Amino acid sequence: MRLLVVLALLFVALPARAEVVRVGSKRFTESYVLAEILTQLARKEGLEARHEQGLGATAVTFRALEGGSIDAYPEYTGTLAEAVLHVKEGDIATALAARGLVMSPPIGFENTYALAVKRSAGLRKTSELATRPGLRYALSHEFVGRDDGWPGLAKRYDLHPASLAALDHALAYQAIEDGRADVVDVYTTDAKIPRLDLVVLEDDLHYFPSYQAVVVYRRDVPPAFTRAVAKLHLDAATMQRLNARAELDGVPSAEVAREWLTGDRRAAPRRGLGSSLLRSIADHGPRHLLLVLVALAISALLGVPLGILAHERPRAGAFVLGVTGVVQTIPSLALFCFFLPLLGIGVVPALAALALYGLLPIVRNTHAGLASIPAPLRDAAHALGLTRRERLRHVELPLASRTIVAGLKTSAVVAVGSATIAAFIGAGGFGEPISTGLSLNDIPTILAGAIPAAALALLVQGAFGLVERLVVPRGLRLRAGP
């Protein structure tokens, strides 16, 4: 237990170890590529820069910038005006300045929202969709929820689809390719538009605002970073080509950025699953393991005393068990996002969510273990003149230790799986390649995160066999059998 506490203190101290310009990206190909180009430009200016990849949707990424978890990220003027700041386009710079943020001049291309269909559908304009009420729509989650997305678009064009499925952006393309959808939302520089021979429907009622690509960054970034931003210029055709290089050719975004900056395009061999697994373990394993260990330490420090309280005071115990049970029913992603307004983005809200999620098995097993102790054993301890604290420490907790350790093991295994979701709020871990793979519809990348996470869960479960040998009295282990 002391080791876990020390790890927790060390882990919390990790983010402050060095000053680094952190460039964030949202969870889609173009954002990855632009952020990586900006990161490499910053390094060319002599800065230490790091790409915080795939933080999440717009709201999460902007929150990370505003809260100081990142220093910059690529964005679009229409998104800033409509979905983030809720101001007119001409007032974006003023609204950002009030938050200590700066917007660069346009990078050189526009990437607007649009709807797209297969060429065989024979449609050219968005207004024509109203004459086809039987069409099936597959739209990205963010587009469905945004003020400048589906709700307003459907109202403007009087659209009534036969069905509407909310999917990850990459999976929506898969749906129309497989014939499971007729209409998808697209970004106009998406690489798959020409590859799938889709027709981007004209926004003939002019619903969408201008979406000029820009960089949003904190006002206190080093001057060298503003010089790096000033060197970022691309047109729409170039951006679509870079997106295709990353998404369709399978070239990592860092390599795509290097190619564009140097003009040196090399062959793009795909890494095998074995090398991808090794790299994923090296890059993401330490962070994932520390998330699990620190969260488990916090859960144990809270859960065991709460379990003791639940046993000794039945009324309070009913309340404690009820509350921890309710927490366990909250979807894990919702619990992670619940802490964003309170704790910002990154490691801290992830730890808070994981710790709460791990409470129930520990509280319940501590309570059950204490409740299962035979009354004669309690009476014998009392007859020996032991105080309440001595009985708990020397008799009751050792007798309940096997059940308590089982609760800790369950909590740890749950934490390994739940920690993969921490990547969606910028905390890293094996969820990062899983998130990236989902965005790119890249199965090997998904497996590079999923397989190590599953292996870690098995290792953690096995490690608790050793913990049990160290903690549970030998007599209880012999009585219970192997």
Question: What DSSP letter does each residue of 235-282 carry, written as one string?
Answer: -HHHHHHHHHHHHTS---HHHHHHHHHH--PPP-PPPPHHHHHHHHHH
The SS3 call for residue 288 is: helix
CB 75 within 8 A of CB 101: no
What's the pLDDT at 346?
76
User: Where in the chain do CATH 1.10.3720.10 domains reside?
Assistant: 274-480
Residue ranges, CATH 3.40.190.10, the chain: 19-109+211-269
CA-CA distance, 351 to 422, in Å (whole number)? 9
Q: Where in the chain is the domain with CATH 3.40.190.120?
A: 113-200
Distances (CA, A) of 478 to 366, 377, 472, 481: 21, 19, 10, 5
Output the DSSP codes for 132-146. Answer: -TT-EEEEEHHHHH-
Burial class (CB in 10 A: 0-12, 13-18, 19+), 197: exposed
- How far apart CA 300 and CA 315 sit, in angstroms, is 22
Domain at 274-480, CATH class:
mainly alpha
Q: Residue with structure tokens 């990078």? A: 107
DSSP letter assigned to residue 197: T
Asked if residue 378 lies in contact with residue 396, where contact means CB atoms within 8 angstroms, the answer is yes
Q: With 0-12 CB in 10 A as exposed, 13-18 as middle and 19+ as buried, what is 309?
A: middle
Q: What is the pLDDT of residue 200?
A: 94
CATH 3.20.10.10 fits 113-200, yes or no: no
Q: Give the model's pLDDT for residue 422.
A: 83
pLDDT at 266: 66
Q: Of 3.30.390.10, 3.40.1190.20, 3.40.190.10, 1.25.40.320, which CATH number belongs to 19-109+211-269? A: 3.40.190.10
Each residue of 415-460: pLDDT tens digit? Answer: 999 898 888 777 788 888 887 777 766 778 888 888 999 999 899 8
pLDDT at 62: 92
What's residue 267's pLDDT?
A: 58
Residue numbers of the chain with a pLDDT score lower than 50 = 1, 3-18, 481-482
pLDDT value for 93: 94
Tens digit of each residue's pLDDT (9 = 90 or more) over 328-362: 888 877 777 777 777 777 788 889 999 998 999 99
Token couple for 389: 């604290």
Q: Are 232 and 38 in contact (CB under 8 A)?
A: yes
Structure confidence at residue 478 (pLDDT): 54
| pTM for the full predicted model | 0.71
For the chain, report the end-to-end CA distance as a whole number of angstroms. 24
